[in-house]
């Protein structure tokens, strides 16, 4: 299977490869955008405007954490492509293992400070006494789950470099949809503050969904 995929990357027409990669990526990106829409619909309708404001405060922190996964993934994907082109599959596997270890270590080193200084960071991003509690409820669950997000970002790039695309990638994006929506529905509050249900759904999404 691996040799067949490598042969396709080496010999297939560029236009055919472009379609093979682009169509699943577009479908996956559309479905991934729906996850964020679902977040806002349930939080806005079930919790309120202050919860939406609190959720907005979390974006810079989450983007900062996810960027490290993309950093490792981009470098690993390049090295994997080079080694596969040289037929050095053993070296490609070593790069993959090193990328996994490095992603895990970097995530731990970034998650711990964010958990310790979470409130200070939220204040720096413009949080108030009304919005910070919502943001903290959300981040207390999502930040520890960032390891899943970092791995999904990083190894998605490696998947592309290895030639694993097509319907497989689209299925990985679409499959978690019902499981992402279910925690929203089950934990939709009758009133008051309840961001944790939405953060649980986000972690489920990140576990199942390599972007």
Residue 50 binned pLDDT confidence (cut-offs 50, 70, 90): confident
Do residues 113 and 143 make contact, with C-beta atoms less than 8 angstroms apart? no
Do residues 157 and 76 make contact, with C-beta atoms less than 8 angstroms apart? yes
* Mean of pLDDT values over 88-112: 89
Tell me the C-alpha distance between 167 and 184, whole Å. 27
pLDDT at 165 over 80: no
pLDDT of residue 170: 46
pLDDT of residue 110: 92
Burial of 7 (0-12, 13-18, 19+ CB in 10 A): exposed
pTM assigned to the model: 0.68
* Mean of pLDDT values over 125-129: 88
Contacts of 117 (CB under 8 A, 6+ apart): none
| Alpha helix segments (H runs only) across the chain | 2-11, 14-46, 49-85, 89-116, 118-124, 132-142, 146-162, 167-174, 177-186, 196-208
pLDDT of residue 167: 47
Tens of pLDDT, residue by residue over 76-88, are: 988 988 888 888 8
In the block, which residue shows the tokens 């900062």?
64
Residue 111 CB-half CA count within 13 A = 20
Tell me the C-alpha distance between 25 and 127, whole Å. 35
């Amino acid at each position: 299977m691996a040799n067949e995929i490598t042969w396709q990357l080496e010999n297939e027409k560029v236009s055919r490869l472009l379609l093979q990669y682009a169509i699943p990526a577009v479908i996956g990106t559309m479905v991934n955008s729906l996850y964020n829409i679902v977040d806002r619909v349930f939080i806005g309708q079930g919790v309120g405007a202050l919860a939406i404001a609190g959720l907005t405060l979390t974006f810079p922190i989450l983007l900062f954490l996810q960027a490290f996964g993309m950093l490792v993934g981009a470098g690993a994907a390049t090295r994997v492509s080079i080694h596969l082109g040289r037929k050095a599959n053993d070296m490609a596997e070593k790069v993959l293992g090193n990328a996994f270890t490095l992603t895990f270590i970097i995530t731990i080193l970034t998650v711990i400070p964010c958990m310790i200084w979470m409130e200070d960071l939220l204040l720096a991003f413009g949080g108030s006494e009304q919005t910070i509690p919502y943001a903290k409820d959300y981040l207390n669950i999502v930040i520890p789950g960032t390891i899943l997000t970092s791995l999904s970002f990083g190894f998605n790039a490696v998947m592309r470099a290895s030639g694993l695309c097509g319907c497989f990638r689209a299925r990985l994006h679409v499959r978690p949809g019902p499981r992402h929506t279910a925690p929203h529905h089950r934990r939709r509050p009758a009133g008051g503050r309840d961001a944790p249900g939405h953060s649980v759904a986000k972690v489920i999404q990140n576990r199942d969904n390599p972007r």
